[in-house]
Amino acid sequence: MTESATLQIGDRLSDWIEVERLGAVMTPDPDDPREAEGVLNPASARDAEGTTWLFPRVVGGGNYSRIGRARLIETDGVPTSVARDGFALEPQLPFEKNARTAGTEDPRITRIDAINMWVMTYAAYGPFGPRIALAASSDLLNWERLGVVDFAFESRWSTDFNLYRNKDALLFPEVVTAPDGQPALAMLHRPIWDLDEIISGAGEPLPAGIEDPRLGIWMSFLPISRRRESLAWLRSWEQHTLVAMPEHEWEQLKIGGGTPPVRVPEGWLTIHHGVRGEWVKGVDQQENVFYSAGAMLFDATDVTKLIGRTALPILLPETSDEREGIVNNVVFPTAIESRAGGFDFFYGMADTRIGAAHLTWRGASA
């Protein structure tokens, strides 16, 4: 793709997308204390029979989070509600618990045909804050924990990415080409530089060459040649590459990953989140923030190359469900499934309930 074509896509991406709200599909059960602080930020997956499942973050008192499992109910092909079906993961292991609470949080699920598995990324809220953890399943019912992701040390960054808290991780569904030319799996993630949250006085040691301390989206790779019979090989990631930083007013504080990338004719499409407002350190549930959703398009051949980005949000908190909740003014996209010439995507509403929206992709024909 030529540079001029890349710039043209960047300018036009908003014109290629139309978003229609479909309303809330899951709200907390007032009779279940395990949902006292909301159901939000789900993963999604479609099984071999065509049934779509949501895997919401289910939050009880004290910010104690589990990953639920719920069958999506559709009316005339449109998502309308869910039928609960227990839990996929609950905090059990030391890296999922801390002195204040515990959490298996904000999952994303990707079907990776190259390994014939669904792979879940989730935030394990352990002793040092959130870390990216993995689980895998062959049936969407039984999940094998694989542990916390290990980032290889790379001298060009002069730091160890394992030092930092990290979350909002999501996987590409297909094998792509890594920066070194090898076929590889690819993961988007969002490191958190502030180490004061772990050790007072540690500051914000940034990787070499990074001058803006705001949080952006990185991509790491796992060469498929390392595949082994044991799924433990999925934990080791390398070739860390910064792919996006906050650019627009609605992303003033930070950006982070949202939905797993989906293939469109022009490249890889993902819906991300941006945050503006005032952030208070050490607080789980912020009061003065505003989360919106935008879209990014990555090159089909070189996935580290961002070729399009919406300058304005494609969805921002406007309805009462999105503006009023555990954390007000939050639209937080985390799941996406294809439907009817476009995609249904699912998002957290005010950290309390789950909404659905339909994205019509018009692409270069727009």
Q: What is the pLDDT of residue 247?
A: 95
Give the pLDDT confidence of 44-80 residue by residue, as tens digits: 999 999 999 999 999 999 999 999 999 999 999 999 9
Q: Please tell me the predicted confidence (pLDDT) of residue 341.
A: 79
Token digits for 97?
């618990």
What pLDDT is stored for residue 90 in this prediction? 98
Strands (E), 115-259: 117-126, 129-137, 144-148, 150-151, 165-171, 176-177, 183-192, 217-223, 236-244, 254-256
Do strands 236-244 and 150-151 pair parallel, antiparallel, or not at all (unpaired)? Answer: parallel
Look at the chain and count its residues.
366
0.85 exceeded by pTM: yes
CATH number of 3-365, picked from 2.40.50.140, 2.115.10.20, 3.40.50.1860, 1.50.10.10:
2.115.10.20
Q: Is 60 exceeded by the pLDDT of residue 3?
A: no
Q: Write down the domain spans for the chain.
A: 3-365
